[in-house]
Chain A
């Protein structure tokens, strides 16, 4: 705790002083970048990174601590890191949600009531980026860190120290984002298109870029770590046909963060250079290219959306067989199609650029590739439906969440097709139809998927149970509220509601007001959620090692699992998901 505070304090001090002092000499922006790099090192060093580094060069085992304090330290146990990720996810989600509430408040009526245009853009951008971060880290970082090593029967991740590093890169990023409103604000949305993002001298824009870069490196390290773990540390007898589907989905997501993130990093770095070194990468007047940024950005940021959704698929496919008491239908091809989605996701990026003035002929292949993604995604749905058929469903909370996720994502996925379809996208691009589409996929898919995973593995993580009734109430509230907010947005979009505008024609008022009020239902569901967690941590009934009678490895370990996870090395002797096969 003190440790963490010291680290943050020293980091912030270095950053502020450096920016201020060097600013005199170099100008504020270059100063900010330099001092951020230094501040980052100082912060990580004080936090415990230095110790970890030294012990690494000595080839020693990483030191382990005990007690609640470890959750505020540079702790290397994958279970601690997982919990840290989950906590961070919830915090950032609350912040992003708060932004959403502010946004909806402003959007409840036409005209400007509470915010100026710039303030609206800032809130909107912060909402977008923080929620994107949430969706990126929630399942992979949080649930994945906790569950994957257990599921493959390992004692920890392959690189525990690097694991801690990838988590502790996040707090500085979040702090930077929270600082942007006080440093001139943001006016470019979470996509930060150049040349808009290379203009102006507001430090806020620079903060945004640095934060985005930090998160990027965090997820690269995460990707390396997961892949190395699954490739080299699977328990005896766990051949590739016995790897649980959730682990498969994390593999797929990790491949994406490994192969995509550094490319978006390159584009962001170029924007930073344009801002601080007067380079002209995106300035056509001086030989640059404006479209270049969009290509680099979407080459990563499209696959990124599958970093969000693949683990969600994994989660529901893991949960449904358990509560359907029936083997996962089409398990092998489901696993393969997760990888197929990964592969396809890298050759569809220009579907975000149908109106950008790129070479017209290219639209056709990108359209075809994009729509082909619905085939492997369809296989995921097949696995769901096939598993439900002739099952014996137990409708415990995780199952309810899983089904809600399927219903939501179906809408999100299907509305992706008209966007992938070049002629209709000419009309729909940059309207609220897109906004509704990706809320149905990210919130309806990734967030509901996270909720599924959270309710499923919560007993393993804490050793206690969440209240089933409360969980279902929360699910109902969120499902109804969420649909009430976003279904109308499709209609607004086709009728001329542009993205990223604070004002709109008066005749839209009724619909907008309706959406805004419905947001309160979602907010209520979030409150119920928080209450349920606090309640169970205080007085929740003890869960036992395997409350759901599931068969994957993590349920063989005690809940919560001790340091080192398993008392004796486990060995896998059966096919996964052998439910209903009475042996």
Chain B
């Protein structure tokens, strides 16, 4: 009978959370606007996790709040009832089983999205991105063009070929949801498919020394014509 009386509390908690969810994230979305094919998968992974975890959070907090209301000692010498082992065993087993299944499910889901994000190795454009303290150098082999600004073609699949001259740096464009370190002595490929024309910032997101803060550069996603133009033009 006590167990039943939990239900309204859970319901209220759930209702509150959903309301707060819309109130807050309707106004302040959780993620910046997505601008790459990969971002879609990252975001779906995120949304899945967020939903499940909000539920877990709500249940746990709701339970604690209920206990705070229902199980206070009125006089100091009151004692709670010694737990009854037989019921305990069942709860333990159930909880462990549930959380194991849940975690494995989450991991499987994550693995699936990861494969989607990484995708195949086919690419329309190769772009070499060379990091060094504290600047980015971009090279387009096909057009033999150098520059510090990263131009990408809308809807095309790019192979970003990352190298570093000195220490570890990291390639990150929030709207693309992709991050990849540039490691000295290694050549690392990052597959990237921008889907929305516009200007973005490329951020170095691995601490690389004094001026790590300022190690940023511009990214511009252009449609086919503009891109070809840009590649012919002088940088």
Considering the complex, which residues of chain B in the window 101-129 have a beta carbon less than 8 Å from any beta carbon of chain A? 103-104, 106-107, 110-111, 113-114, 116-118
Given contacts A193-B168, A426-B177, A426-B179, are A187 and B205 in contact (CB under 8 A)? no
**B206 CB contacts on chain A under 8 angstroms:** 193, 430
A467 at the interface (CB under 8 A from B): no
B53 and A417 within 8 A (CB): yes
Contacts of B114 in A (CB 8 A): 363-364, 367, 422-423
Q: Is A378 an interface residue (CB 8 A)?
A: yes
List, in ascending order, chain B residues with CB within 8 A of A379's CB: 92, 95-96
Shortest distance in angstroms between A385's beta carbon and chain B's nearest beta carbon?
A: 6
Contact B49 A417 (CB under 8 A): yes
A275 at the interface (CB under 8 A from B): no
What 7 A-B pairs have minimum CB-CB distances, sorted nearest first? A284-B185, A326-B80, A391-B80, A392-B73, A580-B79, A496-B174, A388-B67
Any B CB within 8 A of the CB of A375:
yes
Counting CB contacts under 8 A, is A327 at the interface? yes
Residue of A324, A363, A387, A411 touching B57 (CB-CB under 8 A):
A411
**Interface: B82 (CB within 8 A):** yes
| Residues in B whose Cβ lies below 8 Å from that of A418 | 46, 49-50, 53
Our pick among A326, A386, A421 for the contact of B82 (Cβ within 8 Å) is A326
B207, A500: Cβ atoms closer than 8 Å: yes
Is A386 a contact partner of B99 (Cβ separation < 8 A)?
A: no
* CB of A356, distance to nearest CB on chain B (Å): 5
| B8: Cβ under 8 A from any A Cβ | no
B19 to chain A, nearest CB (A): 18
B28 interfacial by beta-carbon distance below 8 Å: yes
Q: With A and B bound together, what is the CA distance between A121 and B88 in angstroms? A: 51
| A470-513 interface code vs B (CB 8 A; 1 in, 0 out) | 00000000000000000000010011101111110000000000
Is A25 interfacial (CB 8 A cutoff)? no
Does B132 have its Cβ within 8 Å of any Cβ on chain A? Answer: no
On chain A, the residues within 8 Å of B72 by CB distance are 392-393, 395
Bound CA span A394–B32, Å: 46
Chain A's closest residue to B201 (CB) is A496
Give every chain B residue within 8 A of A496 (Cβ-Cβ): 32, 174, 201, 203
Whether A456 sits at the interface, judged by CB under 8 Å, is no
- CB neighbours of B45 from chain A (8 A): 421, 423-424
Contacts A326-B81, A418-B46, A495-B174; is A367 near B107 (CB within 8 Å)? yes
Task: Determine whether the beta carbon of A421 is less than 8 Å from that of B167.
Answer: no
In the bound complex, residues from chain A placing their C-beta under 8 Å from that of B82 are 326-327, 578-581
B205 near A430 with CB under 8 A, answer yes
Q: In the complex, what residue of chain B is closest to A501 when comparing beta carbons?
A: B213
What residues of A have a CB within 8 angstroms of the CB of B168 in the complex? 193, 195-196, 290, 356
The answer to whether A385 touches B60, judged by C-beta atoms less than 8 angstroms apart, is yes
**What chain B residues lie within 8 Å of A533 (beta carbons)?**
none
A393 to B65 alpha-carbon distance, docked (Å): 12
| B143 is an interface residue with CB less than 8 A from chain A | no
Q: Which of B73, B174, B181, B185 contacts A325 (CB 8 A)?
A: B73
Please, which residues of chain B bring their CB within 8 A of the CB of A117? 210-214
Beta-carbon contact of B80 and A426 below 8 Å: no
Nearest residue (CB) in A for B98 is A378
Which residues from 406 to 422 on chain A have a C-beta closer than 8 Å to any C-beta of chain B?
A: 406-407, 410-411, 414-415, 417-418, 421-422
Q: Given A355-B179, A375-B99, A392-B72, do A382 and B67 touch, yes or no (CB 8 Å)?
A: no
Known: A120-B213, A580-B81, A580-B82. 13 other contacts (CB 8 A): A199-B166, A327-B83, A330-B88, A356-B183, A357-B183, A364-B111, A368-B107, A378-B95, A388-B63, A393-B80, A421-B106, A422-B110, A423-B42
Tell me the bound Cα distance from A263 to B99 in angstroms. 32
A-side residues, CB < 8 A to B, are 117-118, 120-121, 187-189, 193, 195-196, 199, 284-285, 288-291, 324-327, 329-330, 333, 355-357, 360, 363-364, 367-368, 371-372, 374-375, 378-379, 381-382, 385-395, 403, 406-407, 410-411, 414-415, 417-418, 421-424, 426-427, 429-431, 491, 494-496, 498-503, 578-582
Q: Does B10 contact A (CB under 8 A)?
A: no
> Which residues of chain A come closer than 8 Å to B46, judged between CB atoms?
418, 424, 427
**Complexed CA–CA distance, A500 and B28 (Å):** 24
Instruction: Tell me which residues across on chain B come within 8 A of A374, comparing CB atoms.
Output: 99, 103
A393 contacts which chain B residues (CB < 8 A)? Answer: 67-68, 71-73, 80
A389 in contact with B67 (CB, 8 Å): yes
On chain B, the residues within 8 Å of A330 by CB distance are 88, 91-92
Q: What is the 8 Å Cβ interface bit string for chain B, positions 12-47, against chain A (1 contact, 0 not)? A: 000000000000000010111000000001100110
Q: Is the CB of A289 within 8 A of B185?
A: yes
B31 touches A494 (CB 8 A): yes
User: Is B61 an interface residue when CB atoms closer than 8 A count as contact?
Assistant: yes
Known contacts: A193-B168, A499-B207. The answer to whether A355 contacts B80 by CB under 8 A is: no
Q: How far is the CB of B217 from chain A (nearest CB, A)?
A: 14
Q: Is the CB of B91 within 8 A of A386?
A: yes
Which residues of chain B are within 8 angstroms of A360 by Cβ–Cβ distance?
A: 118
The contact of B81 among A382, A390, A407, A421, by CB within 8 Å, is A390
Give chain A nearest CB distance to B83 CB in angstroms. Answer: 5
Q: How far is the CA of A582 from the CA of B71 in the complex (A)?
A: 19
Contacts of A327 in B (CB 8 A): 82-83
The one of B73, B88, B103, B162 that contacts A386, using a Cβ cutoff of 8 Å: B88
